[in-house]
Each structure stands twice: as structure tokens, then as C-alpha cells.
Amino acid sequence: MSNNELDEMIKALSHPIRRDILNWLKQPDLYFADQEHPLSFGVCAGKIDQKTGLSQSTVSNHLAILQRAGFISSKKVGQWNFFSRNEAAVQAFLEQMQQQL
């Protein structure tokens, strides 16, 4: 992991809403149990918007930052975008922080 990649990951986590989203996506069956589509697709952007109570464009921006940092991936199914957490990236980040600090 380069310093630039790590910087981008750290910046992605510097907003509490983005940490919340990442945490919710850890247990989608706990936080998004009412989603109609299968949770195996990931969590629909609209459900994440709802849960944050923020506008679609604001949440879309937060999701883009998390995705650019590698913490989440998206999958388009029909007209919907589904997001899932990249557990390996989260764990690699935590290990890197343990080592660097």
C-alpha cells in the first residue's frame, strides 16, 4: 500500500457519516433487513440515502469517496446501484495503521 493510497483511505474515513456507512455495510442484514432486493447484491444506494437522512447527491458523493479509497465496491443491477464493503481492504488498512503508528 503506497503512502498516497493510505492518505486517500485515511481521508475517506475522516467524516463520521462515511465511517457509519462502512460500519452499516459490515452487517447489511442488521441495518438493511427491509431491502426488497437480495442483500447478496449489496445495499441499494437509495436505502443508504434513507438511513443517513441526507440528500441523494450528498450520499452519492460520500459513497464515491469510499469507493475511490477501495473500501467499498458497487454493482449495477437493472436501474439500481448496490454497494458492498471490501472487507479485505478494511483489514489491510487497519493492519497498515497498526504498523505505521
Contact yes or no for 43/84 (Cβ under 8 A): yes
Contacts to its own copies by CB under 8 A:
3, 6-7, 10-11, 13-16, 19, 22-23, 26, 90, 93-94, 97-98, 100-101
Q: What angle do CA 57, 19, 66 make, to 5 degrees?
A: 55
Other C-beta atoms closer than 10 Å to the C-beta of 7 total: 11
In the complex, the smallest distance separating the C-beta of residue 46 from its own copies, rounded to whole angstroms, is 24
Between 37 and 92, name the residue whose CB sits nearer to its own copies: 92
On whether the CB atoms of residues 38 and 44 are closer than 8 A, the answer is no
- Cβ at position 100, least distance to its own copies in Å: 5
Kindly tell me which of 79 and 98 has the beta carbon lying closer to its own copies.
98
Cα–Cα distance, 90 to 70 (Å, whole number): 9
Q: Which is nearer to its own copies, 16 or 78 (CB)?
A: 16
